[in-house]
Structure formats: C-alpha cells, structure tokens
Structure 1
C-alpha cells in the first residue's frame, strides 16, 4: 500500500490588515457624510418645538386678553388687558364674573425655550417678554409678545429672538 500525501495549501480565514483598513476608511467616510445631516435634523426638530411653544404661549396671551376684554378678568382702568407676567398664564387668575368657579388657567405650565443655554434659570426666564408699550425684558410690565432670548441663527438665517 502506498501512502499518498497530498499537498494541501492551508488558506487562512479572516481579513487581512489592508481589507480592515479599507473597511474602516469607508465607514469613516460614511459617518463623516452623515454627521451634518444628523445635526441639521436635530436643529430642525428644536426649531419646530420652538415654533410650537411660541404659538401656544402667544395663543394663551390672546386668550387672556380676550377674557379681560369680555370682563372675565378684573382689570384696573389703566390696564390694557394683557397678562402681567407669564406666570399669571400658568397660575391662573380669578374669574371675576363667578368667583366660586375655579381659576381661569391659560397654560398648564410655562415651557422652556429649547435654545436656552443656561440650565440654571427658570423656564419663565428663558423667554424674552415684550410689553404692549414696546419695552422688553425685565422692564416689561405686561406680556404682549414672547420670543426666544437666543441670538443663534436658525436654518433660515434669522435669529431665534426675532421669531
């Protein structure tokens, strides 16, 4: 009996170093291309949230003004009917036509500006308030309009504090 020894070449399974480097380079290229799109999408979502919050708060200011004009909210002769602070929208005010009823509440809570940079300030302080007479910020004696305090530019190249 003759013993035949076959010459078998052993092929190693796995990846070579060059194949791994090429794969990593392609992966890095894909990630670097996708990163700006993820950042723009995140910014777009925050902008949509800002629009929604501004709409809700401005709607609450308008509802307060309408209630004051309808006589549901007691106001002085010199008052213009706008809420004195944002907190008044969330805390509520007495119904002057029926004091036994619950307070008139226009917001469940004061939302936080999604572009507020300082986490230590209250939700109310993240907004810039403009009074009926045009004064802004801490000098405002009533809430006629609300905007973001952020001076960052939006995707539309408009600063958020002008929205």
Structure 2
C-alpha cells in the first residue's frame, strides 16, 4: 500500500516566511513616504487657506468695508481675527472657520510674518499678519524646509 503525505516541509516554510519578510521591509519606506506626502498636501492646503483668508481680509479693508489700524497696511492683526471676524454694516464677516492645524507640528501655532518684517525673519514683529509659515524645522521630500513654504 502506497501512502501519500501532503504538507509543507520546514525548508519550504522558511523560504516563504523569508520572502514575506523581504517584501514587508520593502513596503515600510514606501508607506512612510506616502504618509509624509499626505502631510505635505495637508500643509499646502492649510497655508493656501490661511493666505487666501489674509488676502480676502486685506481686499475688504482696502474697499473700505471696515477700519484697520494705520500701521497694519490693511492686513489682519492676528490669525484669530480672521476666525472671530469683523463687523461690516452690522454683520459679522468671518474669513476662516477655524485656524487650520499644522500637520507637521500637530498644532495650530504658526510662524507669522508682518509686512514690516524682513523676508527671512523668523520672529514676528506683531504689527499685522502678512504671511504664515510652518514652525516645523523638518525637510520636505523635495529637499526644502517646511518653514520656507
């Protein structure tokens, strides 16, 4: 009587586990790259949203919809004023629903730049909000610093 046994030998099992381990190690950097790319997209969107709100505030102030301080150049005094809004003809006009979260620092704290500050300044003069940047000192996939975006 002939007996046929089916199953997997230890050698076959070791080979399969080794192949799976190699594939898993190759997938980890790709996954990290994709997560970083998604955070970069989120950062770009947040910066785009805030810079758009700053521009809308300035446009409305220059059209005379509301009064601003003389030294502000019609830019908002801070980010919270974009969320809190301003009174325009007895109506509250808001430019942002909320201050976006910086995905790189996981915070709503941003590096601000006033119109009067130097272009490469890392400290905010406090007169107005002309531009915003991430406070992250990390480097993007394209080699630039997030704080320079």
Whether TM exceeds 0.5 here: the answer is yes
Residues 83-124 of structure 1 deviation map (CA, whole Å, 9 limit, x = unaligned)? 0110011111111xx12x2x110001101000005xxxx51x
Offset of residue 136 of structure 1? 4.7
Gapped regions of structure 2 (runs ≥ 5):
none
| Structure 1: unaligned runs, 5 residues or longer | 1-6
Match of 2:138, SS state, is: coil
1:17 corresponds in structure 2 to 10
Other structure's SS at 1:155 match: coil
Please name the residue that 1:110 is paired with: 99
Distance (whole Å) between structure 2 residues aligned to residue 85 and residue 130 of structure 1: 10
1:55 is matched with 48
Moved over 6 A (4+): none
Q: 1:129 aligns with which of 112, 116, 135?
A: 112
Query: d(CA) in 1 for partners of 2:72 and 2:141?
Result: 39
| TM superposition shift of 1:138 | 5.1
Name the CA shift for 1:33/1:79 in 2 (closer, same or farther; >3 Å). closer
Deviation at 1:73, TM superposition (A): 1.8
Work out the CA distance in 2 between the residues paired with 1:22 and 1:113: 45
Q: What secondary structure, in the 3-state scheme, does the structure 1 residue paired with 2:111 have?
A: strand
Q: Give the 3-state SS of the residue equivalent to 1:146 in structure 2.
A: strand
2:144 is the counterpart of 1:161: no
TM-score normalised by the chain length of structure 2: 0.91
RMSD (CA atoms)? 1.5
Instruction: Name 1:26's counterpart in structure 2.
Output: 19
Q: Looking at CA atoms only, which structure, 1 or 2, has the larger radius of gyration? A: 1
Offset, 1:139: 3.7
